[in-house]
């Protein structure tokens, strides 16, 4: 009986699930792809922070695993919330692709006046930069965002470089260096979550990349300690035990940043607590402005 792999129906989600299925089939495991609709896919005109953040893309797939509709699900790991339901395990973290953001634009960078993104982190980092541009909300899958760019609604849009690579897109623009535009925690990483079953998880284990798992779990530990959810602009990036972590004000005018070594989750938690203390006012400002509760 094939392993049923759940995924969202967007082109990027399907490409990521196809990679997982191909890698599993190479180990001799038969697979079947199952498309699951999520609230985040259905409400594309509403900012993510108003419908529960990136976790809305995961919740429906978790429910399908627990209901027995699918055996496992493929996600961009940055979308997976800190709190996880009982009965679901992080079975594999694939080798990380590029963590960087990419600013897609046809005009010269100096001529960019309107940039599309609905990410509070990306908006704050762009406002902090030397670009003299207005940041306007933009949601939808990659095709939708590119269509709106080509229609002239924006001069530039922000995409994850990893997503572009997975879709085979070669687009004009500017790579945003992770050292300054610190990525979202776990950006560029594909994760496979599965029913908490030893035999099933054993079949998925060959897909796991230990170095990538270590780095993204350090990032996740920092994120969990900082808190603030998707409301607070924050970037966390770890590569080979070297950590960059920052929290920004919503307008990008102020920020707190830590650069340090972090080889494991506990070291990440220590740094996360330190960053939370430094950035407490910024976190509370974001919560108050966006109408959230602690």
CB 183 within 8 A of CB 97: no
pLDDT tier, 44 (very low <50, low <70, confident <90, very high otherwise): very low
Q: Decide which of 2.40.50.140, 1.10.150.120, 3.40.50.1110, 3.30.160.40 is the CATH code for 210-294.
A: 3.30.160.40
Please list the residue range(s) of the chain that carry CATH number 3.40.190.10: 1-94+189-208, 101-176
What is the structure's pLDDT at 231?
Answer: 79
What is the structure's pLDDT at 273?
Answer: 98
Q: Is 196 a catalytic residue?
A: no
CA distance 164 to 183: 15
CA distance 265 to 241: 10
Please list the residue range(s) of the chain that carry CATH number 3.30.160.40: 210-294
- The percentage of the chain sitting over the pLDDT mark of 70, rounded to a whole number, equals 91
What is the structure's pLDDT at 41?
Answer: 52
The CATH code that applies to domain 101-176 is: 3.40.190.10
The CATH code that applies to domain 1-94+189-208 is: 3.40.190.10
What is the structure's pLDDT at 293?
Answer: 42
Q: Rounded to 5 degrees, what angle do the CA atoms 183, 209, 213 make?
A: 45
**pLDDT tens sequence across 101-135:** 999 999 999 999 999 999 999 999 999 999 999 99
- The percentage of the chain sitting over the pLDDT mark of 90, rounded to a whole number, equals 82
**pLDDT tens sequence across 84-95:** 899 999 999 999
- Among candidate residues 79, 101, 155, 215, the one labeled active-site is 79
Q: What are residue 89's DSSP bridge partners?
A: 194
Give yes or no for residue 264 having a pLDDT over 90.
yes
């Amino acid at each position: 009986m094939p392993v049923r792999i759940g995924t969202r129906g967007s082109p990027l989600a399907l490409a990521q699930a196809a990679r997982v299925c191909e890698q599993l089939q190479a180990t001799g495991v038969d697979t079947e792809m199952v498309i699951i609709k999520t609230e985040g896919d259905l409400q594309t005109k509403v900012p993510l922070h108003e419908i529960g953040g990136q976790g809305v893309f995961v919740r429906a797939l978790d429910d399908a695993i627990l209901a027995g509709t699918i055996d496992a699900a493929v996600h961009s790991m940055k979308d997976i919330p800190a709190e996880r339901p009982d009965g679901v395990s992080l079975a594999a973290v694939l080798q990380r692709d590029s963590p960087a953001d990419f600013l897609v634009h046809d005009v010269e960078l100096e001529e960019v006046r309107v940039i599309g993104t609905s990410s509070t982190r990306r908006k704050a980092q762009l406002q902090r930069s030397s670009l003299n541009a207005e940041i306007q909300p933009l949601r939808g899958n990659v095709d939708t965002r590119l269509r709106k760019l080509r229609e002239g609604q924006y001069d530039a849009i922000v995409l994850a470089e990893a997503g572009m690579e997975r879709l085979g897109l070669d687009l004009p623009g500017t790579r945003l260096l992770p050292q300054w535009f610190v990525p979202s925690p776990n950006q560029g990483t594909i994760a496979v979550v599965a029913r908490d079953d030893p035999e099933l998880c054993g079949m998925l284990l060959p897909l796991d990349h230990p170095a990538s798992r270590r780095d993204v779990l350090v990032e996740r530990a920092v994120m969990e300690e900082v808190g603030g959810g998707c409301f607070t602009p924050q970037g966390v990036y770890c590569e080979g035990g070297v950590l960059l972590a920052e929290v920004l004000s919503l307008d990008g005018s102020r920020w707190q940043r830590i650069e340090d070594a972090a080889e494991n989750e506990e070291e990440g938690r220590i740094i996360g607590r330190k960053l939370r203390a430094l950035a407490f006012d910024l976190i509370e400002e974001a919560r108050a402005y966006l109408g959230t509760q602690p």
